[in-house]
Every structure is written in structure tokens, then in C-alpha cells.
């Protein structure tokens, strides 16, 4: 293959990389640009940018937890802190796995484009964007007109939804579309697990265990918690009819679906593998991710989604099975009003 043809196929592969459909394009920060002007390796600059963005994300968690309105969400700062902590942990677990398999899928262009760093940068900035908007809602600084506040970006409904709203209530149609998109997501997971190119990355037993199972579980846990918080804050600011929970969940479903579709396309690029024989393609990448030490419950009020029909019963720590003492029950019922509440260390960026 000639040098020019090789350049062309690399360019085409770059175009085919996971497209963030209908998603904002986040610019690099000033420190990253300064780092690149000093001719420092791009990976080094990007790793530093990731760390800066993560610190900002943690500070936003601290701001949300420190807002007095948050107590009305779950009833106490103690409960809110636990849910936010689980939201952070599940998001981290999901992001790490998604960007790991994304790096593997984009193995052919890795010599000039590090998808692992780019993926992490994107999803961390995306997270920061959503948390900033939640803070604006809690602080009362969001625009008064709902149309001026682009929080959950508009997504295109499927054909079945468009046909449904002609004869039914919108609530029925969004519920049905949510079920369809969830089935599609599960189908793509099965495709990944059975695929020769990226199946080995799972490092587990089909979809019963391993990275794909952990990625799905942690994504569900994160999606449900961020939507619970976002919709609660949104409705508190714009009114109860401004947005529904399933609108938010379907937004995240559509985003996830687009990502999985594009990863499959990139993984089956027609590039000549022999041209990049010195690149291992990240086949060991999946084995470097530690399995989740515990499964985060889906949360009260949600229907649990699983990848497999025969999901094994999760073993809960003994202390979680024990009933509350009288003092604990009284404290939980009264709620911690937060006068002396401590912001958890994870939210302080330590």
C-alpha cells in the first residue's frame, strides 16, 4: 500500500470514529493549548487536561451537596451524599470501560490519535457541562425561559414514536420508545460480546460477568441517578410539566446507542491490519480494569435493567442486612439538616 493511500485510509478512519451525534463540541482549555505550544507530547497535555477537568467535576459535586435545596431531593444530606457518591462511582466505572473498549475499536488510528484520552476528555467535559447546569438550576441562575436553557439536548424520536403520538398520549409513546432503545442497547452488547475483534476485551463469562456486564450495570446506575437529580432540579425551576423522567432516561439511551453503533463500525474498519503490526491494538486493555467490587443498586423507584435473564442474586454485606436500631431509625426519619455535615473527601478533590 502506497504512502498516500495509507494517509487516505487513516483520514477516513478518523472520520469514522465515534461521532458524538447532536452533542456539544467541547474546546480544549487554555492550559492544554499552552502545553501544546511548548511542543510537549499531546498525550501528556491531554492527561493533564483530564485531571484538571476531574477536579472541576468533583468541585461541582461539592457545590451541589452544599446547596441547601438539595435536602429536598432525598430527605437528608446523608442520603444525598450517598446517592451522589454512587453516581460518581458508577459514572467513573462506566466511563473507564467505555473508553477502554473505544480505544480498542480505534486501534488502527492509535499511532496518531489516542482515542482513550480523547474519550475520557470528552465524557468528563460532558459530565461537567451537565453538573454546571444542575448547579445553575439550584442557584436560580438559569434563564427564566425554558427554551433558552439547553440542558438535555433534543434527540430524534424513532418512527414508531412519531406514529404513536398521532393516536396516543405522549407518555405512552416515550415509554414504548424507551423500551425499544433499551432492547437495542442490549443487542449491541451481545454483538460486542460475540465479536472476534472486541469480544476478548470482556475478560469474563459472556455477558454474565466481565467488563461488558460491569459497564452496563454502572451505566444504568449512573443514568438513573443523574436523571433523578437533573429532572428534580429542572422541575423545581421550570415547573412539574417541564420535563419527564423518561425523557431524560431516553436522552441517555439515545446517546449510549449512538456510541455503541459507531464503535461497532470503527471496530470493523477496512484498514489493512498489517500496516500497523507494531500496534497491539489494546487487546490487553480489558484485563487491566479491575472488576467492580460491588454492584450499585438501581435506586428506589426504578425498574432494574439487566443484560441477562438469569442474573445471580447479589450478596449484600452483613451490616446492610441488619435492621436499623431505634436511634438510627429516628435519625434517618428526622434527617440530617446539614448544620455540621461534612462534605465527603471524594468531593473535595483529594
Label each residue of the chain as H, E or C: CCHHHHHHHHHHHHHHCCCCCCCCCCCCCHHHHHHHHCCCCHHHHHHHHHHHHHHHHHHHHHHHHHCHHHHHHHCCHHHHHHHHHHHHHHHHHHHHHHHHHHHHHCHHHCCCCCHHHHHHHHHHHHHHHHHHHHHHHHHCCCCCCHHHCCCCCCCCCCHHHHHHCCCCCHHHHHHHHHHHHHHHHHHHHHHHHHCCCCHHHHCCCCCCCCHHHHHHHHHHHHHHHHHHHHHHHHHHHHCCCCCCHHHHHHHHHHHHHHHHHHHHHHHCCCCCHHHHCCCCCCCCHHHHCCCCCCCCCCCCCCCCCCCCCCCCCCCCCHHHHCCCCHHHHHHHHHCCCCCCCCCCHHHHCC
Assigned domain for 196 exists: yes
Of the ranges 122-131, 236-245, 319-328, which one carries the lowest mean pLDDT score? 319-328
Whether 163 is covered by a domain: the verdict is: yes
How many domains are there within the chain? 1
Residue 319 in any domain: the answer is no
In a domain? residue 22: no
The predicted model gives 84-100 an average pLDDT of: 91
In this structure, is residue 114 part of a structural domain?
yes
Q: What is the average pLDDT value for the chain, to the nearest integer?
A: 75
Give the pLDDT of residue 333: 39
In this structure, is residue 104 part of a structural domain? Answer: yes
The pLDDT value recorded for residue 57 is: 94
Give the tens place of pLDDT for each residue, 107-119. Answer: 665 444 566 788 8
Is residue 348 included in any domain, yes or no? no
Q: What is the pLDDT of residue 24?
A: 58
Task: Please state the pTM of the whole predicted model.
Answer: 0.78
Which domain, by its residues, includes 184? 28-271+280-308
345 is a domain residue = no
| Most confident stretch, 150-154, 167-171, 248-252 | 248-252
Amino acid at each position: 500500500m502506497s504512502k498516500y493511500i495509507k494517509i487516505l485510509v487513516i483520514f477516513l478512519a478518523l472520520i469514522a470514529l465515534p461521532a458524538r451525534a447532536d452533542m456539544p463540541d467541547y474546546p480544549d482549555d487554555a492550559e492544554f493549548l499552552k502545553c501544546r505550544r511548548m511542543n510537549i507530547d499531546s498525550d501528556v497535555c491531554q492527561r493533564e487536561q483530564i485531571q484538571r477537568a476531574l477536579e472541576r467535576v468533583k468541585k461541582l459535586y461539592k457545590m451541589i451537596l452544599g446547596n441547601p435545596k438539595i435536602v429536598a431531593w432525598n430527605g437528608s444530606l446523608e442520603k444525598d451524599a450517598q446517592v451522589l457518591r454512587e453516581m460518581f462511582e458508577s459514572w467513573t466505572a462506566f466511563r473507564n470501560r467505555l473508553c477502554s473498549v473505544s480505544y480498542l475499536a480505534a486501534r488502527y488510528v492509535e499511532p496518531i490519535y489516542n482515542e482513550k484520552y480523547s474519550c475520557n476528555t470528552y465524557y468528563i467535559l460532558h459530565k461537567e457541562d451537565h453538573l454546571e447546569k444542575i448547579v445553575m438550576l439550584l442557584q436560580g441562575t438559569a434563564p427564566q425561559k425554558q427554551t433558552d436553557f439547553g440542558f438535555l439536548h433534543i434527540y430524534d424520536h424513532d418512527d414508531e414514536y412519531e406514529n404513536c403520538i398521532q393516536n396516543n398520549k405522549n407518555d405512552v409513546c416515550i415509554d414504548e420508545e424507551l423500551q425499544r432503545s433499551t432492547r437495542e442497547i442490549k443487542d449491541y452488547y451481545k454483538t460486542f460480546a460475540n465479536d472476534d475483534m472486541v469480544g476478548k476485551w470482556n475478560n469474563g463469562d459472556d455477558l454474565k460477568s466481565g467488563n461488558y456486564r460491569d459497564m452496563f450495570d454502572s451505566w444504568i446506575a449512573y443514568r438513573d441517578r443523574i436523571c433523578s437529580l437533573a429532572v428534580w432540579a429542572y422541575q423545581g425551576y421550570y415547573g412539574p410539566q417541564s420535563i419527564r423522567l423518561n425523557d431524560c432516561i431516553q436522552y441517555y439511551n439515545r446517546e449510549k446507542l449512538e456510541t455503541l453503533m459507531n464503535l461497532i463500525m470503527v471496530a470493523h474498519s477496512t484498514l489493512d491490519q498489517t500496516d500497523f503490526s507494531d500496534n497491539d491494538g489494546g487487546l490487553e486493555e480489558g484485563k487491566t480494569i479491575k472488576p467492580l467490587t460491588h454492584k450499585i443498586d438501581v435506586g428506589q423507584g426504578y425498574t432494574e435493567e439487566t443484560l441477562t435473564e438469569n442474573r445471580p442474586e447479589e450478596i449484600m454485606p452483613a451490616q446492610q442486612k441488619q435492621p436499623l436500631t431505634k436511634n438510627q431509625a429516628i435519625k434517618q426519619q428526622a434527617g440530617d439538616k446539614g448544620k455540621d455535615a461534612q462534605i465527603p473527601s471524594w468531593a473535595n478533590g483529594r
